[in-house]
Structure 1
Amino acid sequence: METKQMNKNIIPAPRHLLLAAAIGALSPSAMALDYKGYFRALAGSNSDHGGAACFKLDGAMSKYRLGNECETYGEFEFNQDVLTTEDGTVFKGNIMLSLHNPNSTGGGTDVGLPQVYVEGEKLPELNGASAWMGRRYYNRESLGPNDFFYWSGQGFGGGIRDVPLGQHAKFSYAWLRKDNLIPTTTGQFPPAGALAENGSNSASRHDFQLRGVPVNRNGTLELGLSLIVKDAQGSNKVDKEQLHNGYGITLQHRQLGLPGDGWNKFALQYGVGPGTGGADSAIGAIGRLTDSRRVSRVRLVEGAYAQFTPRLGAELVAIYQKDKGFTAARTLVGSTENKTWTSLGAHVVYGLTRHIKLNADVGIDSVKPDTGPTRRLTKLTIAPTISAGPGLNARPDLRLFYTYARWNDAARAAASVASPGSALSSSGAFGNSNNGSTVGVQAEVWF
Structure 2
Amino acid sequence: MNARKTLVGILAAAIAFTAIPAQALELHGYLRSGIGGNEKSGNQVCFGTAPLNYKFRLGNECETYGELEFSQVLYKDRSGVQFSYVGMLAYKTGGMRDAEYLNGVDKWIPDNDGNWFPAARRVPGTDFLLRQNYVQATGIPFLGGASVWAGSRYFHRNDLHILDFYYWDPSGPGAGVEDIDLAGFAKLAVSVFQSKGGWGTGYTGNDKLSVWRPDIRVYGIPFFGGGSLEVGLDLNIMSGQNTAIGSQADSQHVSPMVTVQHVQSGLLGGFNKLAFQWGQGTIAPLSRMPEPQNTKDAKHWRIVEQLVAQPNDRFSGMLAVVYEDSSMQYGGEDMYNSFRSLSAGVRPVWNVMDYFKLQAEVGYQSFKPKNQGSLPNKDRGDLWKFTIAPTIAPLPSPGGSFFTRPELRLFATYAAWNKAEANYLQNYNSVVWFAGPNGNGPASVYGDQRHGLTFGAQVETWF
TM superposition score normalised by structure 1: 0.84
CA distance in 2, matches of 1:354, 1:48: 36
2:163 paired residue number: 146
Q: Check the 8 A contact 1:57/1:63 in 2, yes or no.
A: yes
Taking the aligned partners of 1:130 and 1:203, their CA distance within structure 2 comes to 25
Contact preservation (8 Å) 2:408, 2:460: yes
Q: How does 1:118-129 map to 2 (within 5 A)?
A: 118-129=135-146
Q: Extract unaligned runs of 5+ from structure 2.
A: 1-20, 101-122, 373-377, 436-440
Give deviations 1:199-247, integer Å, cap 9, x for gaps.
9732101110100000123200100001110002231541242432211
Give the counterpart letter for 2:241 in structure 1: Q
Q: Cα–Cα, structure 1 residues 396 and 194, in superposed 2: closer, same or farther, change >3 Å?
A: farther
Pairing 1:268-417 to 2, within 5 Å after superposition? 268-276=276-284, 278=285, 283=286, 285-325=288-328, 330-333=332-335, 335-336=336-337, 338-370=338-370, 371=372, 372-389=378-395, 391-416=401-426, 417=428
What is the rounded CA distance, in whole Å, between the counterparts of 1:237 and 1:148 in structure 2?
28
Aligned-partner residue type, residue 380 of structure 1: F
**1:116 CA drift (Å):** 0.3
Structure 1's 236 and 355: CA in aligned 2 closer, same or farther, altered over 3 A? Answer: closer
Counterpart of 2:27 in structure 1 is 35
Structure 1: distance between partners of 2:201 and 2:27: 29
1:31–1:80 Cα contact (<8 Å) kept: yes
Structure with higher Rg: it is: 2
Q: Determine whether 1:429 maps to 2:438.
A: no
Q: Is the 8 A contact 2:81 2:140 kept in 1?
A: yes
Partner SS, residue 166 of structure 2: strand
Q: For residue 287 of structure 1, report the CA deviation from its aligned partner.
A: 2.3
Partner SS, residue 352 of structure 1: strand
1:140-179 map, 5 Å: 140-179=157-196
Q: Following the alignment from structure 2 to structure 1, what is the Cα–Cα distance between the partners of residues 356 and 164?
A: 24
Q: Deviations over 1:293-330 (max 9, x none)?
A: 11111111111101111110010001111012579x92
CA deviations over 1:7-42 (Å, ceiling 9, x no partner) = xxxxxxxxxxxxxxxxxxxxxx97332221110102
SS of 2:420's partner is: helix
Q: Larger deviation: 241-250 or 412-421?
A: 412-421
Percent of aligned pairs with the same amino acid: 34
Matched AA of 2:96: T
Equivalent-residue separation in structure 2 for 1:383 and 1:60 (angstroms): 25
Q: In structure 2, what residue type is equivalent to 1:290?
A: Q
Rounded to whole Å, the distance in 2 between the matches of 1:332 and 1:93 is: 44
Displacement, 1:252?
Answer: 0.5
Does the 8 Å contact 1:317/1:346 carry over to 2?
yes
Deviation, structure 1 residue 426: 7.5
Q: One-letter code of the match for 1:349?
A: V
Q: Give the CA deviation at 1:195.
A: 5.4
Q: Deviations over 1:75-112 (max 9, x none)?
A: 111110000134311100110111101x2335533211
**Alpha-carbon distance, 1:414 to partner:** 2.2
In structure 2, C-alpha distance between the alignment counterparts of 1:236 and 1:193, rounded to whole Å = 7
Q: SS at the partner of 2:71? A: strand
Q: Counterpart of 2:95 in structure 1: which amino acid?
A: S
Aligned residue identity for 1:115: Q
Moved more, 164-173 or 350-359: 164-173
- State TM-score, norm by structure 2: 0.81
Matched position secondary structure for 2:137? strand
- Extract unaligned runs of 5+ from structure 1: 1-28, 184-190
Tell me whether 30-39 or 311-320 shows the greater mean CA deviation: 30-39
After the TM superposition, which residues 35-114 of structure 1 pair with which residues of structure 2 at under 5 Å, given as runs? 35-101=27-93, 103-105=94-96, 107=100, 108=123, 109-114=126-131
The Cα of 1:155 is off from its aligned counterpart by 1.3
- Contact (CA 8 Å) 1:58, 1:411: kept in 2 or not? no
- For residue 138 of structure 1, report the CA deviation from its aligned partner: 1.4
